[in-house]
Structure 1
Amino acid sequence: MSKRQQLPPQIRKVEVKDRASGKTVVRYQVTVDAGISPETGKRKQTRKRFTTEKDARDYLSTTQAAVAAGTYVARSKRTVRQVIDEWLASKHNLKPSTVLGHKSKLSAVKDELGEVEVQKLTKGHLDDLVKRLRAGEVEGRSAWSPRSVNYMLSILTSALESECKQGNVVRNVAALVERVDESGRAEMKTLTEDEMFRILDHECRDRHLWTLALYGLRRGEIAGLKWSSVDLSAGTVTVEENRVVVERQVLTGTPKSRKSRRILPMPTEVVDVLKAARKRQLEDRLAAGSQYGSGEYVASNQLGEPLHPDAITSRWEKLLRDLGIPAVRLHDARHSCATLMHLRGVPIAVIAAWLGHASAAFTMATYAHSQDDALKAAASSFGRVVTTRDTETGVT
């Protein structure tokens, strides 16, 4: 008969009272050195009891191997709420509007799963949350779109990835959740060339705003454009400020990305429209007197106060109704500009720079819908008789 092995120093027998029977029983208590705590700088130890010596030895062996490999995760009661709050607090370089957007989407996770210990968070928890968000079954929230769900999953994945790197969780369960198919999203609608020029030629108080939109500026860029960024003599518009609505708050900051900061040379007709708007606002100042605001924004009301971005959208919708043009989003005016430039032969790289896109590849993917018409135009060049109309690009 083999001699019984002596217990290693990390395992010792202890006598405890069994809760069910009330009798004294023997347990095997394992104490393992789990490395140094990054928070305190002190040695960490993990302690656990087992009913059998074999289970205790197996646990000791597995744990020591994980500690040596740097993959051991100590038991923690940190909650999902704590993890999200700490991750958001660590995002020092994000724009306030981006942080607010992150907080808004992650608030659903905190409300529903905030008290769950992050080490006990499962894929099932998140699958169930996604299902209920999509169905509008989460109290106080309307049904979420695929895009909103995927946005939430993306930033939650980033937060849990940080936990993995810090050694606080074994795996990133958010990365395991299947993303919702966004292929059913409505395609962007673009204005026809005739509709674009009807808007550009329409005399109204906000004509300069629609001109800027049809020449490729985002709503936030229009709302954030100051007269100090408009050089009427040189005919340029410098995009350097953004006013956006996040969670019903108007936030002013830098443009969407580094490439969004740009100086755009404007055609003479655009400069003329801006000059007329500037003159009208100066007349408003004289009429309002001391009640007039700063008047520093290009998009201002008659009292010199900056227009709320949502007010710009409302005015756009009224304009289309007045002109009898089918409803399209204000942002689609920007898409219309890019599509027209594309169909007229302007290189994608130039369109990307004009629109302030991060890359030409994104621009190509966004405006792929205009490829069909562009290819048809190119096909005509193979005919035996090539007319001036076939080859004219009309680039301005």
Structure 2
Amino acid sequence: MTDRLPRRAEPIDKVTLKSGAVRYRFRIDLGVKADGSRDRRFFTYRSYKEARAEFRRISTEVAAGTHVNRGRLTVAEHLEDWLAGKRDIRPNTLRNYRDAAKPILRDLGQLALQQLTKAHIDRFLTSLRRRDGKPYAPETIRLTLSVLKQVTKDAKRQGLIARDPAEFVQAPIPAHGHRTAVWTRQEANQFRNHVRGDRLYALWLLTLCGLRRSEVLGLRWVDVNFQSETIVVRQARVEVTASFIDVQPPKTTRGLRTLPITGEVSAALQALHRIQSSEHIEFGGGSLNESALIATEPDGRPILPRTYTDRFRRAAKNAGVPVITLRNVRHTSVSVMLDAGIPPTTVAAWHGHDPRMTVSVYGRTYDDSLRIAGASMFQSVEEPDDSALG
């Protein structure tokens, strides 16, 4: 049974259900459907106060063009749709997105997308834990939040939600005094001396020079010119999954670059070329194909990215230097060059970076340079010779 309430600004009806329960209902025009007909819908609430507030809210949103119809789409469903639409990115980037999305799917996936709030997200980020129970690193949390923000922004853009709940969520900042772990020049040379004579010595030198792991593993002999002592970075080998190694060109034009190699690096590469030529014949492959990869096992199989990382860690441990990541060896290269006074534009060109990123993200000033900089303010200045002034 429906009782029309006394006429007010809001056309809300009192409805008595068969069970005797009382509800309050209104009907409102939400616009036009896809077929051109009017989209008029009923909304029902338990109290008149709630119905009145919702009528005003929905009416205001409809007038402003921001109203979103109620839907049952979950966070997980929209996240999967968003990932499926990422067709213009590299496979390894998509893998990184999927990895970052795992805790989102686990902890927020069952929530209705329209019910997701900033409070949900704040609690989610605060409670993030690794499998061993330790909190996620701030960098990992920032990556996860970055993916979630892209997902909610996409939902708002599609009109699936009225407001973006992640828009004003703040990412955690690193602890005060946090510094990226890099080697000193002495530690880099200690590692270099330890791996001298290793079959992969040339590759370790290229890593010390700041090439990415993917770039070292993507180099071919055809990319090396022993006469001009240069190498050309043309491609990268990236491990997308345990069974899929993707070969791809550099992400940007900066990444495609020709680099001069020192006499030591050139000599190490020539030595590796001779070793591989002998190995190729020994394993029945005949002459070494110049289009072959440089980073190979003795039987000619390409070295897997994870294998290269494992061998690097063992070598660093045996060399008695801090076991840092290969990415941080690249940081070391940038920092050493900047500390040596090489212009940031040159350092950026060597590493395939934007110069601004080279200084703001990768550069580190060593303590010795800071001491020299501070002492320079109080160095004695030779007094002018008054007699020479005429």
Distance 2:136 2:288 in 1: 39
Shift of 1:326: 4.3
1:223 equivalent in structure 2: 217
Secondary structure of 1:259's match? coil
Q: Are the aligned partners of 1:11 and 1:56 in contact in 2 as well (CA < 8 Å)?
A: no
Specify the code of the residue in structure 1 equivalent to 2:274: K
Distance 2:180 2:317 in 1: 21
Matches within 5 A, 1:1-396: 11=11, 13=13, 16-19=16-19, 21=20, 29-36=25-32, 43-50=38-45, 59-134=54-129, 136=131, 143-183=135-175, 185=178, 187-193=180-186, 195-196=188-189, 199=192, 202-246=196-240, 248=242, 250-252=244-246, 253-290=248-285, 296-357=292-353, 359-370=354-365, 372-377=367-372, 380=376, 383=379
Give per-residue Cα distances to partners, 1:41-76, cap 9 Å, x unaligned: 765443213577786566444423311211111111
Shift of 1:244: 3.0
Q: Are the aligned partners of 2:12 and 2:51 in contact in 1 as well (CA < 8 Å)?
A: no
Specify the code of the residue in structure 2 equivalent to 1:219: R
CA RMSD of aligned residues (A): 3.5
Shift of 1:337: 2.2
Specify the code of the residue in structure 1 equivalent to 2:189: M
Specify the code of the residue in structure 1 equivalent to 2:369: A
TM-score of the two chains, using structure 1 as the length reference? 0.80
Distance 2:302 2:130 in 1: 38
Distance 1:194 1:313 in 2: 18
Specify the code of the residue in structure 1 equivalent to 2:355: A
TM-score of the two chains, using structure 2 as the length reference? 0.81
Q: Are the aligned partners of 2:190 and 2:321 in contact in 1 as well (CA < 8 Å)?
A: no
Deviates more, 1:251-260 or 1:73-82: 251-260
Shift of 1:364: 1.4
Aligned residues: 373
Secondary structure of 1:362's match? helix
Shift of 1:128: 3.4
Shift of 1:330: 3.1
Secondary structure of 1:370's match? coil
The structure-2 alpha-carbon separation of the partners of 1:283 and 1:343, relative to structure 1 and needing over 3 Å to count, comes to same
Deviates more, 1:273-282 or 1:234-243: 234-243
Distance 1:327 1:12 in 2: 69
Q: Are the aligned partners of 2:293 and 2:302 in contact in 1 as well (CA < 8 Å)?
A: yes
Q: Are the aligned partners of 2:183 and 2:322 in contact in 1 as well (CA < 8 Å)?
A: no
Q: Are the aligned partners of 1:46 and 1:74 in contact in 2 as well (CA < 8 Å)?
A: no
Q: Are the aligned partners of 1:33 and 1:44 in contact in 2 as well (CA < 8 Å)?
A: yes
Distance 1:303 1:6 in 2: 88
Secondary structure of 1:173's match? coil
The structure-2 alpha-carbon separation of the partners of 1:61 and 1:199, relative to structure 1 and needing over 3 Å to count, comes to closer
Specify the code of the residue in structure 1 equivalent to 2:338: H
Secondary structure of 1:33's match? strand
Specify the code of the residue in structure 2 equivalent to 1:263: T
Distance 2:332 2:96 in 1: 27
Give per-residue Cα distances to partners, 1:151-177, cap 9 Å, x unaligned: 111110111011112221122223344
Secondary structure of 2:128's match? helix
The structure-2 alpha-carbon separation of the partners of 1:181 and 1:67, relative to structure 1 and needing over 3 Å to count, comes to same
Shift of 1:119: 0.8
Distance 1:36 1:266 in 2: 67
Deviates more, 1:69-78 or 1:42-51: 42-51
Shift of 1:146: 2.1
Shift of 1:278: 1.6
Distance 2:12 2:322 in 1: 80
Secondary structure of 1:260's match? coil
Q: Are the aligned partners of 1:250 and 1:308 in contact in 2 as well (CA < 8 Å)?
A: no
Q: Are the aligned partners of 2:335 and 2:363 in contact in 1 as well (CA < 8 Å)?
A: no
Give unmatched runs, 5+ long, in structure 1: 387-396
Secondary structure of 2:300's match? coil
2:386 equivalent in structure 1: none
Q: Are the aligned partners of 1:225 and 1:298 in contact in 2 as well (CA < 8 Å)?
A: yes
Q: Are the aligned partners of 2:331 and 2:363 in contact in 1 as well (CA < 8 Å)?
A: no
Shift of 1:14: 7.2
Specify the code of the residue in structure 1 equivalent to 2:182: K
Distance 1:307 1:350 in 2: 31
Q: Are the aligned partners of 2:74 and 2:111 in contact in 1 as well (CA < 8 Å)?
A: yes
Specify the code of the residue in structure 1 equivalent to 2:346: V
Deviates more, 1:363-372 or 1:236-245: 363-372
Specify the code of the residue in structure 2 equivalent to 1:315: R
Distance 2:230 2:186 in 1: 24
Specify the code of the residue in structure 1 equivalent to 2:330: R
The structure-2 alpha-carbon separation of the partners of 1:293 and 1:78, relative to structure 1 and needing over 3 Å to count, comes to farther
